[in-house]
Amino acid sequence: MDVKHQKRTKHMNDLLTVNYKRFSFVRGSLVSTSLLALVLVGCGESVKNEEIAVNQQLIFEDYQTSVNAIFDMDLDGKVCSSSGCHNIGNGSGGGLKLYPNAAQDSFEMDFNYRVAQSLSNLTTPSQSKLLLEPLAGTFSITGSHAGGDIFANVNDPNYLTILAWISNPEEVTSGDTP
C-alpha cells in the first residue's frame, strides 16, 4: 500500500471514530431523555385511554333489508335501478349508479350501499342528495331530478325509510377501522 493510500485510510478511520462517538453521545442523550419522559408520565394520576369516535358510517345491514329494495321497486311506473335511470350499465342518472336486483351480501349490494352512502349527509340527513333529488318541489344543488318526482312529500314512506337509515349511522372508532 502506498503512503498516500495509507493516509487516506487512516483519515477515513478517524472520521468514522469521531462520527461513532458523536452518534453514541446523541443516542445516549435520546435514551436518557426517553427514560426521563417515561418516569414523568408515570407520576400523577393514571390515564384511561378510551376509543374515540373518528367517523360515522351508515349501517350496511339496514341498507340491505330496507333501502336497496326501494331502488328496485316500481314507484308509479318508475324504477330507480332501471336501464333508463340509475342502472350501472347504461343509466343516465348522475352520481347514483346502481346494480339492479342486487343479491344479499354480494359485491353489487356493497357497491349500491357505498354509492347511496356517498350521497348521504350524516350531519343533516334531510339535506342528503339521495333524498332531495327525487323529492317533489325541491331543487337541489345540481338541479332537479330528471326522472321526475319520486317522493310526493317528506311523509312518503320510502322517503322516511331512507331518512331513518341516514339518521342512524353507527360510530366507527379507531379500533374498528380497517
- CA 38 remoteness from chain centre: 35
Per-residue pLDDT tens digits for 120-175 = 999 999 999 999 988 887 765 556 677 788 889 999 999 999 999 999 999 887 65
Per-residue pLDDT tens digits for 47-89 = 554 554 458 899 999 999 999 999 999 998 888 888 788 888 8
What is the tally of helices (H) and strands (E) in the chain? 6, 2
Instruction: Specify the long-range contacts of residues 40-45, CB closer than 8 Å, at least 24 apart.
Output: none
Could you tell me the pTM of the whole model?
Answer: 0.65
Cα 84 to Cα 91: distance, rounded to the nearest angstrom? 5
Backbone dihedral angles phi then psi of residue 173, each to the nearest 5 degrees: -95, 170
